Amino acid sequence: MRLAARALVTLGAFVLQGLAALGGMALFAATALGRAVRPPWYPARLLEQMALVGWFSLPVVGLTALFTGAALAQQVFVGGSRFNAESTVPAITVIAVVRELGPVLAGLMVAGRVSSAMAAEIATMRVTEQLDALVTLRTDPFRYLIAPRLVAATLVLPLLVIVANAIGVLGGYLIATTRLGFNGATYLVTTARYLEWEDVRSSLVKAAVFGFILALAGCYNGFRSTGGAAGVGRATTNAVVVAFILILLANLVITVLVFGQ
């Protein structure tokens, strides 16, 4: 009884902290976007971030999608063979990749790369007084640092996810045609027939939301870091953990509430 009460208190405190952090992040995002609508704008910073978030994530996202798409096709084949439904491999693979695995895996992989990097860079700027220097040089850190990162990640993740989806389907195709005895042309035709516009839309919406979340988690944790080098480490860890949890939570919400009908 005592123990249960204490556990409840701990859980309650955790939830409250989580809510406070969410509120802080929302406010932070609103500040950045609110200021970003008025100049000065920093197109060079935006392009730089788009390259960092998008282009340099291509290898890791591509490999993840390839391996997972291939493994998925194999599993669908095994599962399907238990009730003579092996022929569902192309349809189920494409739907699972486009609606779920493509965006989620790309979101998580990019969060691992980018949220941590953003948090570490901005936290280091805090520690070394570069953020203070920006202000004294009459440059708004929200416009100069935060907004380009949020916008870049939100724009670039959908592009990245289109690539991830295509490569994921390719992974399934490779396994299906080399090991599972599918005819290549038939596989592709079936894939195309079962893919609906709604699936793609869901994929892209998720990708944009995940991009925003992962950049926000990185920037927020970096920006408010305190306590020197140890603080930089904490900010980096928190950024990745928060990004992962929020991406998975947002995925659930979008899947069930927006595209669950």
Partner 1 sequence: MTTPRLALRGLRKAFGRREVLAGVDLDVRAGESLVVIGASGTGKSVLLKCILGLLRPDSGSIRLDGEELVGLSGPRLEAARARIGMLFQGSALFDSLPVWRNVTFALTSGRSVRGREMKARAIAELARVGLAPEVADLRPAALSGGMQKRVALARAICARPDILFFDEPTTGLDPVMAGQIDRLIREQVSALGATALSITHDLESVRRVADRVAMLAGGRIVWEGPVGVLDCSGHPLVERFVRGRAGDSPVGAEAPA
Based on the shown chain and the rule CB under 8 A, indicate whether residue 40 belongs to the binding site for partner 1.
Answer: yes
Size of the site for partner 1 (CB under 8 A): 18
Closest distance to partner 1 from the beta carbon of 150 (Å): 17
- Quote the tokens at residue 17: 């902290």
CA distance linking residue 55 with residue 79, whole number of Å: 36
Burial (CB count <10 Å: 0-12, 13-18, 19+), residue 254: middle
Closest distance to partner 1 from the beta carbon of 72 (Å): 39
Q: Which stretch binds partner 1 (CB under 8 A): 36-44, 86-94, 107-115, 211-219?
A: 36-44
Question: Which residues contact residue 10 at a Cβ distance below 8 angstroms, ignoring those fewer than 6 apart?
Answer: none
Q: How far is CA 7 from CA 2, 13, 75, in A?
A: 9, 10, 39
Of the candidates 216, 97, 199, 105, the residue with the CA atom closest to the CA atom of residue 154:
216
Closest distance to partner 1 from the beta carbon of 227 (Å): 12
DSSP SS3 for 196: coil
Closest distance to partner 1 from the beta carbon of 130 (Å): 5
CA distance linking residue 111 with residue 169, whole number of Å: 22
Residue among 42 and 67 whose Cβ is closer to partner 1: 42
Residue among 40 and 59 whose Cβ is closer to partner 1: 40
Q: Of the candidates 31, 75, 88, 139, which one interacts with partner 1 according to CB under 8 A?
A: 139
Q: Report H helices in the chain.
A: 2-36, 43-53, 58-81, 89-96, 102-110, 116-127, 130-136, 141, 147-178, 184-194, 197-223, 228-253
Q: What part of residues 153-182 is at the interface with partner 1 (CB under 8 A)?
A: none
Q: Which stretch binds partner 1 (CB under 8 A): 54-62, 136-144, 153-161, 237-245?
A: 136-144
Q: How far is CA 250 from CA 62, 208, 255, in A?
A: 23, 11, 8
Closest distance to partner 1 from the beta carbon of 61 (Å): 24
Q: Of the candidates 13, 26, 135, 230, which one interacts with partner 1 according to CB under 8 A?
A: 135
Residue among 136 and 261 whose Cβ is closer to partner 1: 136
Based on the shown chain and the rule CB under 8 A, indicate whether residue 259 belongs to the binding site for partner 1.
Answer: no
Based on the shown chain and the rule CB under 8 A, indicate whether residue 138 belongs to the binding site for partner 1.
Answer: yes
What x/- string results for residues 105 through 134 when contact with partner 1 is judged by CB under 8 A?
Answer: ----------------x---x--xxx-xxx
Closest distance to partner 1 from the beta carbon of 117 (Å): 12
Q: How far is CA 151 from CA 36, 53, 61, 165, 212, in A?
A: 10, 11, 20, 22, 7
Residue among 99 and 143 whose Cβ is closer to partner 1: 143
Based on the shown chain and the rule CB under 8 A, indicate whether residue 226 belongs to the binding site for partner 1.
Answer: no
Q: Applying CB under 8 A, which residues contact partner 1?
A: 40, 42, 44-45, 121, 125, 128-130, 132-139, 144
